[in-house]
Amino acid sequence: MGPRSASRTLPGATRPSRQPGFREDVFGARRGRDVAVPEGAEAMKVYLDDERATPEGWVPVRWPEEAIGLLEGGQVTELSLDHDLGDDEHGTGYDVLLWLEEAVATRGFVPPRVRVHSANSSARLKMEQAIARIERFVRERGAE
């Protein structure tokens, strides 16, 4: 996994926890599944980027801990990530995926649909590999 660890917690982010009220099989649109949202919560699509205009219907966030905070709330049904956010010391879109990977693998967190919109080709590849690992954890959990 390299020098960064999936157990790294970004400033302002808390450790993930299992969220009640979710279906266990909600990872990706690629498989045509609906994403469940806790009762009484409003679904949201989150767009992490520092420069691009946020598409209509998406909630803009600039920093990884903002995205993680919304993920923890259990209302995120879709997540679109940029990698380079202007301050690598503050974090990147990949850090969100590390948090999500740990949450899914160790705590049964149910992930939203995830996509990458980064123009950084090497970072995009690394992020897509992280998404594939998250999908694998979800599949393995479903087979138990």
What are the tokens at 27? 């990872």
Report the pLDDT averaged over residues 90-103: 96
User: Rounded to whole angstroms, how far apart are CA atoms 104 and 5?
Assistant: 15
* φ and ψ at residue 24, rounded to 5 degrees: -85, -10
- The residue ranges of every structural domain in the chain are 29-143
Residue whose C-alpha is closest to residue 13's, from 67, 84, 90, 75: 67
Summarised one tens digit per residue, pLDDT across range 31-82 is 333 445 555 557 899 999 999 999 999 999 999 999 999 999 989 999 999 9
CATH topology of domain 29-143: Rossmann fold (3.40.50)
